[in-house]
Amino acid sequence: MLRRIFMAAVLLCSLAGQGMAQERFITLASTTSTEQSGLFGHLLPMFRAETGIWVRVVAVGTGQALKLGERGDADVLLVHDRLGEDKFVAEGFGIDRRDVMYNDYVLIGPKDDPAKVKGVKDVAEAFKRIGAAKAAFASRGDDSGTHRSELRIWKAAGVDVKAAGSGWYRELGSGMGPTLNTAAGMNAYVLADRGTWASFKNRQSLAIVLEGDKALFNPYGSILVDPARHSGIKSADAKAWHQWLTGPKGQAAIAGFKIGDEQLFFPSAK
């Protein structure tokens, strides 16, 4: 009896292993902003229904996603730092970088606006006022695309946050959602992508205090990890995703993703 039970268990494990071996999947290194906005929950079931390919998302900051690609730990990337993306391709880690979509960043802050940035149109001027007022600012501090953009704005504002030393500037090392939660608890200013902000519920006394500056433009790109660098890359299935995402069906799916009546991403593939 025990022998029959043991043999049945072995057979079940074998069948389960065969099923897992036959499952087609790729690893997509992407950003916390795309994951936490809910975009992947919208896109991936459509792609899987059409192709049978599962997409396993590793949601990290853009800097970490690029490093995953460099090591061959992802098959394809969806990230948002054009300078970093171009460097990744130029150094031979990626191929066929394509525009996918865009949205924008928004500056979030307390409704009482202690740095008096409401009505300012230039985000660098707003950051300068925040620094001068030493108003609390929550930074992702995680080498994400959002963090990289934030640091470029501080540089344009002429504010050296590393030399601040007063405790008003907090580097958190966290994704967009947790950073917004911390900002809400601190009643602090924070730079956020519009998609995550739109889906964020714990706003407390926070609101958008600046938007619309061209410096807040936030484009996303898809990059295939070069299979010539890493033998384990699932290049055919990664290319299927890459082409679907930048093709008519993927672009229509991106345009159709909304929270309420608000469209969060705008397709831009050529």
Start-end of CATH 3.40.190.10 domains in the chain = 2-103+218-267, 104-216
Calpha distance 238→220 (Å, rounded): 17
Distances (CA, A) of 140 to 32, 40, 144: 11, 21, 8
Q: What does the pLDDT read at residue 247?
A: 98
CATH 3.10.20.30 fits 104-216, yes or no: no
> Is the separation of the CB atoms in 186 and 135 below 8 Å?
no
Q: What does the pLDDT read at residue 270?
A: 82
- Asked whether the predicted pLDDT for residue 21 surpasses 60, the reply is no
> Is the separation of the CB atoms in 251 and 99 below 8 Å?
no
Domain 2-103+218-267 class?
A: alpha beta
Q: What does the pLDDT read at residue 165?
A: 62
102 class by beta-carbon count within 10 Å (0-12 exposed, 13-18 middle, 19+ buried): middle
Give the pLDDT confidence of 152-172 residue by residue, as tens digits. 999 999 999 887 566 899 999
- Asked whether the predicted pLDDT for residue 2 surpasses 70, the reply is no
